[in-house]
Amino acid sequence: MGPITLTLVAILGVLLIIVLKKLFERSAAPATPSGPRQDLANLTVADARVGDSISVSGAGDNYSDLDFTVDRRSRYEAGEKQWFELSGMHGAGRVALEAREEDEVEVRAFLNGLKLSLEDLGVSEDDLAQIDERQNTADNFQYDGKTWYYRLSKEMGVFRDGQTQGTGFYGWEFIEEGGSRYLSIRKQEGEPFAAGVAVKLNPADVAVFRPA
């Protein structure tokens, strides 16, 4: 083997070592996440997911903070409108926050879940059917010493924790005179009517914490 051949072999050997070194360095380097990193110190309700902790200022007993861990995150649909619900256990009961992003973020809290029956509300299934047929926002009924005005009723769907297959139900929504609380009534096929009262929250009063 001549000197020129030996020189070429040596050069190729050096180039091969350099290439292998670059490949090794590239594979050993940690993967860089794509997109901007989420600011975990300033999470909002819209960022919350299963496993996060939520604290609602002044919403607990005697105006204490209400704290719970999200164990369900569900997406709701009603026509073109969409919103999502964050739910978890607080004490012996379940609480849920609804977040709606329209002109601005609106947050509602079902602090006692959906435990009310039609008998509790003093309305019948026939009453709801007639209200649904009329679709008249002047319709109202009395409950808890307050007047509740009809807002809407329609077929709705719920998709649990990112599932593509949803569950349908029929829902009615009423608003308290003065607009401080909402009353939701739901009827899923084969299940009894379920209702609950939601209070409107200031989104700034809801803090979201993600475990490290």
**φ and ψ of 42, to 5 deg:** -135, 45
pLDDT category, 64, cuts 50, 70, 90? Answer: very high
Beta bridge pairs of residue 73: 86
CA atoms within 13 A on the CB side of 181: 14
- Amino acid, single-letter form, for residue 167: T
- Name which of 11-15, 137-141, 170-174, 202-206 the model is least confident about: 11-15
SS3 string of the chain?
CCHHHHHHHHHHHHHHHHHHHHHHHHHHCCCCCCCCCCCHHHCCHHHCCCCCEEEECCCCHHHCCEEEECCEEEEEEECCEEEEEEEEEECCEEEEEEEEECCCEEEEEECCCCCECHHHHCCCHHHHHHHHHHCCCCCEEEECCEEEEEEEEEEEEEEECCCCCCEEEEEEEEEECCCCEEEEEEECCCCCCEEEEEEEECHHHEEEECCC
Q: Give tens-digit pLDDT for 148-182.
A: 999 999 999 999 877 778 899 999 999 999 988 99
CA distances from 155 to 16, 140, 210 (A): 67, 20, 34
pLDDT attached to residue 8: 45
Burial class (CB in 10 A: 0-12, 13-18, 19+), 77: middle
pLDDT category, 31, cuts 50, 70, 90? Answer: very low
Q: Give tens-digit pLDDT for 32-50.
A: 444 456 667 789 898 999 9
| pTM for this prediction | 0.77
Q: Give tens-digit pLDDT for 111-121.
A: 988 999 999 99
Q: Give tens-digit pLDDT for 95-153.
A: 999 998 877 889 999 998 899 999 999 999 999 999 999 999 999 999 999 999 999 99
63 vs 130: which has the higher pLDDT = 130
